[in-house]
Structure 1
Amino acid sequence: MVSTTRPHVGVLALQGDVREHVAVLRGLDVEVSVVRRPEELAAVDGLVLPGGESSVIDKLSRAFGMREPIIAAREAGMPMYGTCAGLILLADDIIDGIDGQQTFGGLDVIVRRNAFGSQVDSFETDIDVPVFGEPAVHAVFIRAPLVEQVGERAEVVASLDDDRVVAVRQGALLGTSFHP
């Protein structure tokens, strides 16, 4: 018998482009909810960590008691997708983080914040991301991070034409430098 239960995907709603991620997910065959508290995290099958300001999301995750539950969910195998700031939060290390900035970790990568420049350097391009299927993804880079180093446990899933790595995965974790 085939299950008719739709996956329930949460979007971490502490700061960032939460509405945009919720809108995209609502267009897919998934149940969507925002996640601000540990009990809301416990009710979802997967979590999207949206773009925004990684240091602010980090501070708010600690203030709202979300840091440890997110790490525990990741360690238990919950699928997570981090876009832009979400990639930074899933990275094991940050080259130029703000003093005291922490990540949830899980992706064996080192990232650099704002590696593509300031707001005026933002750009859009189409990128082939095989794990997303066809067609190419329209990728938006807004003060985006760059994956500077990929460890043995992580896999590169997309790069720009100049070979800069912009999407990685490891187990149930996926991270992109861009907003899809």
Structure 2
Amino acid sequence: MSPLIGVLALQGDVREHTEGLRAAGADVLAVRRVSELDRVDGLVIPGGESTAMSRLLGVFDLYDPLVSRLREGLPAYGSCAGMIMLASNILDTRPDARHLDALDVTVRRNAFGRQVASFETDLEFAGITDAPGADPMRAVFIRAPWVESVGDGVEVLATVPTGPAAGRVVAVRQANVLATSFHPEVTGDHRVHGYFVDLVRAA
């Protein structure tokens, strides 16, 4: 039976994540209401603008229910702004921005620079590209965060391989929570979505 995975549909790459999840074998539900959140087996928090997303979670009365479900163990995956929202500590954010405190990491917003500094690179991603015959993962970074530090129990899955940001952490997992700085939904490579769907099935 296919898991039902929600995509938080307040802003960002909702359609692209929906396509990636379906390609990976999941049923998908756009989540804008508590009743929809209550139905899903896992949740994707897409890229977008993290401070706006924080405000919209309050407007739609989703913030407290989402925090509760995450504390109960709801599997979640956040890309770019989604990573920021899931983090326990955020650098360079607005003082009124709220986060979900589901990953024991410190992230820095817009760490790679402004929109004009967006870039692509090939990454090795633990659990995906280390499979026999697997190709590197093409990663697209758009005003992306990076992970400054990780707590106990957080697994580093990918780092930037070369350039000024070499060694910076850009993918992490802690139990049922996954996050990437980059946008796998825009490349047509659905392996991160498949990784998350498998995580949801296992949970």
Give yes or no for TM over 0.5.
yes
CA distance in 1, matches of 2:128, 2:42: 16
- Which one is further off, 164-173 or 127-136? 127-136
Map 1:100-119; keep pairs closer than 5 Å: 100-119=96-115
State the TM-score, normalized to the length of structure 2. 0.84
Q: How many correspondences in the alignment? A: 176
1:86 aligns with 2:101: no
Residue 113 of structure 2 aligns with an amino acid whose one-letter code is G
1:122 aligns with 2:118: yes
> SS of the counterpart of 1:157?
strand
Map 1:3-152; keep pairs closer than 5 Å: 5-133=1-129, 134-152=134-152
Shift of 1:91: 0.3
Shift of 1:153: 2.8
Question: Can you list the C-alpha shifts for 1:47-104, whole angstroms capped at 9, x where unaligned?
Answer: 0000000000100001101111111111111110000000000000101111211101
Residue 100 of structure 1 aligns with an amino acid whose one-letter code is D
Flag the 1:8–1:53 CA change in 2: closer, same or farther, 3 A.
Answer: same
Task: Quote the residue 1:179 is aligned against.
Answer: 183
Where in structure 1 do 4 or more consecutive aligned residues deviate above 6 Å?
A: none
1:168 aligns with 2:177: no
Give the RMSD, CA atoms, in angstroms. 1.1
Question: Can you list the C-alpha shifts for 1:5-36, whole angstroms capped at 9, x where unaligned?
Answer: 10111100011111111121121211011101
Structure 1 segments unaligned to the other structure (5+ residues): none
Residue 165 of structure 1 aligns with an amino acid whose one-letter code is V
CA distance in 2, matches of 1:175, 1:9: 16
Shift of 1:132: 3.4
CA distance in 2, matches of 1:32, 1:80: 14
Residue 38 of structure 2 aligns with an amino acid whose one-letter code is A
- Which one is further off, 82-91 or 118-127? 118-127
CA distance in 1, matches of 2:143, 2:13: 13
Residue 64 of structure 2 aligns with an amino acid whose one-letter code is E
- Which one is further off, 146-155 or 131-140? 131-140
> SS of the counterpart of 2:51?
helix
> SS of the counterpart of 1:174?
strand
**Identity within the alignment, %:** 51
> SS of the counterpart of 1:131?
coil
Higher relative contact order (CA 8 A, sep 6+): 2
